[in-house]
A and B are shown apart, each in its own frame.
Chain A
Amino acid sequence: MNKEQFLAKLNDALKRIPSSEREDILQDFREHFEIGISEGKTEEEVANGLGSPQQIAKEMVATYRLEQVTESASTGNVLRAVWAVIGLGFFNLVIVLGPFIALAGFVLSGWLAGVSFIVSPILYLINVVIYPEIFAWYDLFFALFLSGVGIFIAIGMFYVTRWLFKGFVKYLNFNMRMVKGGMKHA
């Protein structure tokens, strides 16, 4: 692989990074090539030493995604960051995806419980409209009580969700530092 091929592959793999930042990254590698060549190396030797442009790009993209998610932890950003960090290696599939699915499952079930509690009086009334003979005050009050509990669960889940996602972003950052691939003989 010569300099042009290396840079083209890197550029290709960095498509998801905005062009100003991508240009900055490419410039670092152009500089690396130029100095290497001025020291008498061939383009191929420099490219070989650098390793796979795809792997380099993966790490750059993961860093970029994490930076985005640190700026604003929207669901889309969190998902993209999880995906980018998983892309760094199979090991990460287990240690990132596992906790993420557990976390997402917990958050989802919490919200489902809260929301279904909140709407239970409505569901009960619908049921009564369809089968008027089963109406009982006790059931209606119980449904109203559940609705109240549901509101508390939903408020709780709001804070829990925010807190969990923030924590998870920290975990991703930690993971990024400790587990990234890209080394020889690894």
Chain B
Amino acid sequence: MNVQFKKGVLELCVLVLLDKQDRYGYELVQKISDQIAISEGSVYPLLRRLTKEGYFTTYLKESSEGPSRKYYALTEEGRSYLGELLADWEKFTNGVNQLIKEGVRDE
């Protein structure tokens, strides 16, 4: 798949994963790489950028097994950004699906 496309999608994935609960970096990376082939390290620059842009806040939380973990939490800004991205995504996939349907029927 095209890089440009995947990058945008990766951002959406991270935001979606944080919508219902706060998660730590490793967890986010695992959740995403279970579903799509990514270079895991590229999630961290993304997390950092979105944090700097004010879409996430972070906090450290002790863990039962081992050292404390950095958790990411969606801010209000992040939530409304997620809403925008989701709307774009739905419009986009609906469009593509429609084209696929028509294309398949025509053949």
Q: Interface of A with B (CB < 8 Å)?
A: 25, 27-29, 31-32, 34-36, 38, 49-53, 55-56, 59-60, 63, 67, 89, 91, 176-186
Contacts and interface: CB of A to CB of B under 8 A. Distances in A.
B44 interface: yes
Nearest to A58: B45
A183 B3 contact: yes
A49 B69 contact: no
Given A25-B44, A51-B41, A177-B11, A36 B4 contact: no
Sort A-B residue pairs by CB-CB distance and give the 5 closest, nearest first.
A51-B39, A59-B45, A50-B41, A182-B42, A186-B3
Contacts of A50: 39-41
Contacts of A29: 41, 44
Contacts of B69: 31, 35
B70 A28 contact: yes
Interface in B41-66: 41-42, 44-49, 52, 65-66
Contact of B7 (A34, A52, A177, A184): A177
Give chain B's interface secondary structure class. helix
Contacts, number: 99
Contacts of B67: 31, 34
B17 interface: no
B42 A55 contact: yes
Interface in B1-54: 1-4, 6-8, 10-11, 24-26, 29, 33, 37-42, 44-49, 52
